[in-house]
Structure 1
Amino acid sequence: MRGVISAVMRIARGLLLCLFTLALAGCSRHEVSGYYVASVGPDRIAMIHLVESPPGHLTGSLVVSSLAANGARNNDLAYDLAGSITGTNISLEAKGGLASIAQFFGNSTTLIGHLRGDSLSLSRGAKRTVYREMSKQRYDSELAKLDHKGQVMAMTQAAVASYNSLEKFGKSVDASLVRYVAWGDPKITQISNVQAWYQARIARYIKCLDTIRPLAAAHIPEWRWQQCVLNINNDKFYRDQETSALRALQAENNSAIAADDSKIEQGRLMALNTLAKLRAGCSNAMNAASCDLMVKKLYKASLQNGMISDQDIASFRAAVPLVNAALAQDLKVANTSQARLDALAEQAQHLYQANM
């Protein structure tokens, strides 16, 4: 009988001791020290590291890691924590700079909640967040996933930016090709105008010579017929200006052709580069359907020519040899006519000097 009474008393003392311990910090409470992690936004992870020492007293830190809109990692937000645990109930207070505190906590810096198993539920104001306990290695893995997501975001944004840039570039090249064709069309029909300009001068020079030859032969004083000779001499300036303008036009044409050819090649290379970025970005993109649509649009727009209109390129290619031929013919007419005019001007000057 005494043995039974002794055993009952030992059990009673154990229960009293457990109840006393439970009142202080929980009889069989889950160990609170460790890492607790939660997703607090689409691109943001919060980690709470707690240490219980002495029993019932908590210290630690809260680190918030996040991504910027371009996928780059923002500087981590870090706060010191201090508080207590009674049973399963936890109360924590965050400490840090006012500006830094406001970024995450707003007006409330107190976290209140409870710990049940590996789940730490904390509320700040009306906002409640559940943190899951995990090892430091697992937490580092979560950070690596966040960084990878940032890399995917950056790749996707780079691909979209490249596509938009290519599309804008294609439109600018289209406009340049259309301008060249519009500029070149009149040059193709201008040959007769250049010929007419020189033929009119040749006719005027010949008329002058036909007028002054009999006067010079009759020894009429040169001052009575010198005006047409002076006009011929003065006209050389305008003839030289015309020839220079034609040469400048040819140089402008050559420059425009080279520039547009270079742009077409640049568009082709940009298209290949953009396609590579789209393929890399689309393979991991959150919105793969949108990426695929851009790839298909790029192929439809003709990858060979980038986002430049095939029709505009064809019109440009067709116009180039015609404009080249027209300007070459203009210069040929100018050079031939200049030689003829120089000869006529020399005859007029010879008659004038012979009668001085």
Structure 2
Amino acid sequence: MKFGKKNEIKLDILKYNIGLIGESGIGKTTIVKQMCEKLAGRDGYMFLECGKEDGADAINDINFVNCPEWSMDYEELSNSMGFEDFVDDVVENKTEDWKDLRVVVIDTYDQLLEIAKPEVVSMHNRENSDKPVKSIKAAFGGYMAGEDKATEIVLDKLWSLKTVGVSFIIIGHVKQKEQEDVVTGQKFTTLTTNMSMRDFNAIKTKLHFLGVASIDREIVQEKTGKKDNKGKDVTKGVVTGESRKITFRDDSYSIDSKSRFADIIPEIPFDVDSLIKAFEDAIKAEQSKSGKTLEDTKKEQANEEAKKLKEIAKNEELNKEKKELEKIINKITDYIKENKSNMALIKPIIGKSKELGYNNPTEITNIEDAKEVLSIIE
């Protein structure tokens, strides 16, 4: 039996993994919010303000939840919830509570890794109670194993969102870094992430689009009216104009951007319509190579999406039923343990289980049967 299939380019921008990094205060959160509202509607997105990030505070009417920690129950007063808890709730209740949600924005990715690190330390200590550690550097044997585990649990959670049809967009900060060319050994300066390159590359390799937002400044040299010790005019650089831009491809490699789409426009003005158009044009250019019309592809993908939503709803229902079944069986087994010395209380439970076709309550696989057994002790 042969396996595999030919890939078909998805037309929905939000089906792709998107990243936007840029200078602090340049407007990353605002432009991503605008894009999400245009593509998914006002209820179709959610910003997760991770760790010590609080950019949403300055943006009116943005949908957001604070995630100061990896795991914590929702606190309405502070609008705070653990990152893991939020993701798990979406995955478990997508078709009921989160039916309109299409994309989650991580603001910022480096802060998400920071809140994952204490969880990794806790994971290590749970699994190695005889050798507890206090630092991520020492977790899971050290030598960056702890940091790699933090990346692993973050990516696992982001991909669990994708299983229920919810995409992610990451936001991050930048700084100038000196790097070395792996072939020539020559050093050069690039505008790239403020994270460690190890952490950044782990997510960068998963992105379809990575835009870098920066300010393009026009600088001219003007005379200061002073002379140097050789009698020459002293000049200074003066900014005469500046504009914000987003770069997707830089042939000089001075900006650490990326696109998996060959026909992406290299650079655009920093505005939401240009951003959406850049994605759309790159996707359409690749789709045109399929030989199918755009309209035919849209219809096919709409039908596929409807089927996927039905499958997601079915799986969600099955998972909820499985959890409820486990909960009921735990109640029954706890009751048996508590009353193991009193066979008069236990015999009816065993008897009913056998009547339903099970040797004992732990073998029950049908939730209605489990409820029937539970009714004996409630």
Is TM-score (shorter-chain normalized) higher than 0.5?
A: no
Structure ID, larger Rg: 1
> Of Structure 1 and Structure 2, which has the larger fraction of its residues in helix?
1
TM class, shorter-chain normalised? under 0.3
Please give the TM-score of this superposition, normalised by the length of structure 1: 0.24
Please give the TM-score of this superposition, normalised by the length of structure 2: 0.23
